[in-house]
């Protein structure tokens, strides 16, 4: 007698909260902290558009579950609820500040190791601190393979592996990786989705668990922030006279 | 004690970002009173390895195995950690390009070494080890202090000017340290974008937006780029409409660039696009709408129809090049 075993994939998606892409960036009086006043927050675009949406697509075609993990304070909850509204099954928030990426990765690695996930997805980088290293750190801490900057991802549950396309310097690679693995996701992987009313209603009752952080070292410290100096006025060039633009670029800017 | 630089190669050739990283590492080694040692992996001619000395590397460790020609973050990460041990490196430098972004976090986590990602300047050693990096996708800078004894830095391409000498580096074999089986992914095929300069390394970029109306009009962007020896790029709506490939999308959710010259054609200049380009030294904006917000970020502005202005500019550039060469 055959026993048909259904292989159920468990996917964990790391979600970060970032200022809206149109937010004006300012800092507090002594330039040590981002000024959140009046700023709208969103799910970090590559976490949402690529990692989360691709996870949901994989779940829709293969079954299984998609869970979210975030490191942040209570002010993360609206953003996590939005991610749940897109279709994730549940979320875990580790109730902590985010002093540096190593600390955050250590939290995620600790809680992910308790969940037997087949796949852990991150966005390629956050649009605020632009660390781009969370996925790699989590992979190293869990001692599982890391696929960086993937633009395509498919799962073969029967072979317990994933196939991917990723960006490398000067080209692209197509390959396969054994599960479990950590994959950072970028453009090309999936298209942005808009949550519908049913999803928004359902998200209210989906579990959002909160855990206290585990002890982990902090390796770096943001000392101060600074805004770039504004550009000095623009020189207008007559559209009929492109020789003049070439002259300015050569003699004044010295870039050609 | 030493500074180790991972010199990234592609098909046996070191590119600008590798030279920048080596030179950065050499300047840092000088400030710390130690030596800069480069690490290179894969099939590379000796002459090319020795030439890293011109950028300040005293020694080059060469892991010459053919299986290292394929990029694998875990494999390279392991190699870097072993090389770091071998030369007692206090600081490990990467280029903050696609490969560096993949390897540096693995090395940072396995050594528990603090990592400054996307550095744009040498560290300030006056009060600890403080490095300036870009944050908020180019909208701001952050000075980050590395608190650990071992330190990892990944250097943003086009952020550090390179000077050369005629010194040559000593090449030392570093073969036999890792095995093909250390790779954690199985690469089936590689597609190289040969003949093109990667956008983050490009000195000049010509970029087009929705104002070009359709992919059939891209010829004039390519023509201008060719005249200038520039790379081409685009805004997000253009990539999203499939007019241009995604890897050309410059902006907050695409890639950030810091060329000497960025020429924006028919791009309105949404804040998300500006975030990705405001590290450029000079910005030229060509747009028929005088109210386009991009003009506020421009050094040179041309209010006019791109379909007339761009071919005129290409012609002027070609005439200029013919006269100067």
Give pLDDT, residue A5: 54
- CATH value at residue A104: 3.40.50.620
CB within 8 Å: B136 and A218: no
Tokens coding B102? 């993949």
DSSP B210-235: GGG-SGGGTHHHHHHHHHHT-EEEE-
For B148, the token pair is 């650990």
Q: In angstroms, what separates the C-alpha of A142 from chain B's closest C-alpha?
A: 10
| pLDDT bucket at B324, cuts 50 / 70 / 90 | confident
User: Which of B122, B148, B182 is the endpoint of a domain?
Assistant: B182
User: What's the alpha-carbon Rg for chain A, to the nearest Å?
Assistant: 22
The predicted model gives B232-246 an average pLDDT of 93
Q: Phi and psi of B196, rounded to 5°?
A: -115, 145
Q: Which of B150, B182, B214 is the last residue of a domain?
A: B182
Whether B191 sits inside 8 A of A137 (CB atoms) is no
Inside any domain, residue A253: no
Nearest CA in chain B to A253: B282
How would you write chain A as a 3-class SS string?
Answer: CCCCCCCCCEEEEECCEEECCCCCCCECCCCCCECCCCCCEEECHHHHHHHHHHHHHHHHHHCCEEEEEEEECHHHHHHHHHHHHCCCCEEEEEECCCCCHHHHHHHHHHHHCCCCCCEEEEECCCCCCCCCCHHHHHHHHHCCCEEEEEEEEEEEHHHCEEEEEEEECCEEEEEEEECCEEEEECCCCCCCCCCCHHHHHHHHHCCEEEECCCCCCCCEEEEEEECCCCCCCCEECCCCCHHHHHHHHHHHCCCC
Specify the pLDDT at position B161.
Answer: 94
Residue B188 lies in a domain: no
Tell whether the model's pLDDT for residue A4 goes beyond 70: no
Kindly state whether residues B208 and B159 are assigned to the same domain: no
Asked if residue B194 is part of any domain, the answer here is: no
Confidence check: pLDDT of B87 > 80: yes
Task: Provide the CB-side half-sphere exposure for A63 (13 A, CA).
Answer: 4
Asked if A187's CB is within 8 angstroms of B254's CB, the reply is yes
Would you say residue B134 lies in a domain?
yes
Rounded mean pLDDT, B189-208? 86
| pLDDT tens-digit readout, B26-82 | 999 999 999 999 999 999 999 999 999 999 999 999 999 999 998 889 999 999 999
B153 within domain boundaries: yes
Q: State the average pLDDT over residues B250-260.
A: 91
* pLDDT over 70, % of chain B: 99
Q: How many domains does chain B have?
A: 2
pLDDT given at position A1 = 47
pLDDT for the residue numbered B71: 87
The per-residue pLDDT for range B300-315, each reduced to its tens digit, is: 999 999 999 999 999 9
Q: Report helix, strand or coil for B294.
A: helix
Whether B92 maps to a domain, the answer reads: yes
- In whole numbers, what is the pLDDT of chain B averaged over residues? 95
- pLDDT tens digits, residue range A153-204? 999 999 999 999 999 888 899 999 999 999 999 988 998 999 999 999 999 9
Q: Which residue of B has its CA nearest to A32?
A: B142
Structural domain contains residue A5: no
Q: Is residue B206 part of a domain?
A: yes
Domain of B219, CATH number, reads 3.40.50.1220
Q: Which of A143-152, A229-238, B165-174 has the lowest mean pLDDT?
A: A229-238
Range of the structural domain that residue B259 is part of: 199-324
Q: pLDDT band at residue B154, thresholds of 50, 70 and 90? A: very high
Tell me if A225 and B190 make a contact (CB, 8 A cut-off): no
Q: Is B10 in contact with A169 (Cβ distance < 8 A)?
A: yes
Does the residue B121 lie in any domain?
yes
Tell me, yes or no, whether B6 and B150 share the same domain. Answer: yes
Together in a domain, B251 and B294: yes
Query: Is residue A220, in this structure, part of any structural domain at all?
Result: yes
Which chain A residues contact residue B118 at CB under 8 A?
130, 132
Write out chain B residues lying below 8 Å of A225, CB-based: 135, 140-143
Residues in A closer than 8 angstroms to B284, CB to CB, are 245, 249
Task: Show the domain range for A145.
Answer: 10-226
Residue A222: strand pairing partners: B144
- ipTM attached to this prediction: 0.94
Integer angstrom CA distances of residue B322 from A251, B59, B163, B308: 16, 42, 28, 22
Q: How confident is the model at residue A230 (pLDDT cuts 50, 70, 90)?
A: confident
Are B172 and B25 in a shared domain? yes
pLDDT of residue B305: 97
Count of CB contacts below 8 A, A vs B?
Answer: 279
Are B164 and B234 members of one domain?
no
A40 close contact with B: CB closer than 8 A: no
Name the residue among A125, A175, A236 with its Cβ closest to that of B188. A175
- Mind telling me how many Å the CA of B172 is from chain A's nearest CA? 25
High-pLDDT (> 90) share of chain A, %: 89
What's this model's pTM, rounded to 2 decimal places? 0.94
In a domain, A34, yes or no: yes
- B187 is a domain residue: no
Chain B closest-CA separation from residue A205 CA (Å): 31
Average pLDDT along chain A? 94
Query: Are residues B230 and B93 part of one domain?
Result: no
Tell me which range, A34-38, A60-64, B22-26, B184-188, is most confidently predicted by mean pLDDT.
B22-26
Is A242 contained in some domain? no
Alpha-carbon distance A120 to nearest alpha carbon in chain B (angstroms): 15
Gyration radius from chain B CA atoms: 21
Total domains present in chain A:
1
Note the pLDDT of residue A6: 55
Domain check: are B34 and B171 in the same one?
A: yes
* B69 in the same domain as B163: yes
Which of B182, B216, B234 marks a domain boundary? Answer: B182
Answer yes or no: is pLDDT of B166 > 50. yes
């Amino acid at each position: 007698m055959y026993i048909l075993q259904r292989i159920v994939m468990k996917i964990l998606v790391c979600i970060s909260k970032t200022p809206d892409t149109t937010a004006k960036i300012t800092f507090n009086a002594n330039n040590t902290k981002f000024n959140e006043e009046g700023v709208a927050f969103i799910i970090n675009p590559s976490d949402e558009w690529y990692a989360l949406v691709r996870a949901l697509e994989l779940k829709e075609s293969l079954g299984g579950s998609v869970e979210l993990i975030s490191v942040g304070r209570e002010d993360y909850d609206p953003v996590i609820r939005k991610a749940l509204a897109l279709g994730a099954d549940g979320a875990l928030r580790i109730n902590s500040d985010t002093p540096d990426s190593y600390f955050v990765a250590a939290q995620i690695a600790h809680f992910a190791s308790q969940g037997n996930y087949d796949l852990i997805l991150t966005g390629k980088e956050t649009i605020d601190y632009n660390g781009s290293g969370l996925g790699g750190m989590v992979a190293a801490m869990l001692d599982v393979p890391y696929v960086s900057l993937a633009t395509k991802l498919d799962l073969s549950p029967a072979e317990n592996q994933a196939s991917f396309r990723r960006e490398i310097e000067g080209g692209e690679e197509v390959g396969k990786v054994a599960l479990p693995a950590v994959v950072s996701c970028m453009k090309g992987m999936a298209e942005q989705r808009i949550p519908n009313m049913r999803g928004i209603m359902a998200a209210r009752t989906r579990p959002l668990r909160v855990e206290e952080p585990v002890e982990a070292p902090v390796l770096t410290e943001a000392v101060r922030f600074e805004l770039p100096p504004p550009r000095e006025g623009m020189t207008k060039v007559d559209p009929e006279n492109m020789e003049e633009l070439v002259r300015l670029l050569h003699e004044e800017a010295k870039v050609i | 004690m030493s500074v180790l630089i991972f010199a990234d190669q592609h098909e046996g050739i070191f590119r600008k970002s590798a030279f920048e990283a080596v030179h950065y590492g050499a300047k840092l080694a000088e400030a710390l009173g130690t030596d800069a040692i480069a690490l290179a992996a894969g099939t590379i001619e000796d002459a090319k390895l020795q030439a890293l000395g011109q950028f300040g590397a005293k020694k080059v460790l060469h892991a010459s195995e053919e299986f290292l020609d394929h990029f694998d973050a875990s494999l390279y990460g392991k190699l870097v950690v072993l090389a770091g041990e071998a030369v007692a490196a206090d600081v490990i430098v990467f280029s903050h390009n696609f490969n560096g972004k993949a390897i540096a976090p693995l090395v940072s986590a396995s050594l528990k070494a603090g990592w400054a990602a996307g550095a744009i300047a040498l560290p300030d050693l006056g009060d600890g080890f403080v490095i300036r990096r870009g944050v908020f996708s180019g909208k701001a800078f952050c000075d980050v202090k590395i608190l650990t004894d071992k330190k990892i830095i990944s250097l943003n391409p086009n952020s550090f000017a390179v000077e050369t000498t005629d010194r040559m580096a000593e090449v030392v074999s570093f073969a036999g340290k890792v095995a093909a089986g250390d790779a954690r992914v199985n690469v089936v095929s590689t597609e190289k974008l040969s003949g093109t300069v990667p956008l983050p390394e490009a000195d000049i970029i010509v970029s087009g937006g929705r104002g070009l109306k359709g992919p059939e009009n891209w010829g004039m962007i390519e023509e201008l780029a060719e005249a200038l020896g520039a790379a081409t790029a685009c805004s997000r709506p253009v990539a999203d409409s499939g007019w241009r490939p995604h890897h050309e999308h410059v902006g907050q959710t695409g890639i950030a660039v810091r060329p000497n010259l960025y020429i924006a054609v028919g791009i309105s200049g949404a804040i998300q696009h500006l975030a990705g380009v405001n590290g450029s030294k000079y910005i030229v904006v060509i747009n028929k709408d005088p109210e386009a917000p991009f003009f506020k970020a421009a050094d040179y502005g041309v209010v006019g129809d791109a379909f007339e202005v761009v071919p005129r500019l290409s012609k002027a550039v070609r005439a200029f090049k013919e006269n100067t060469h």
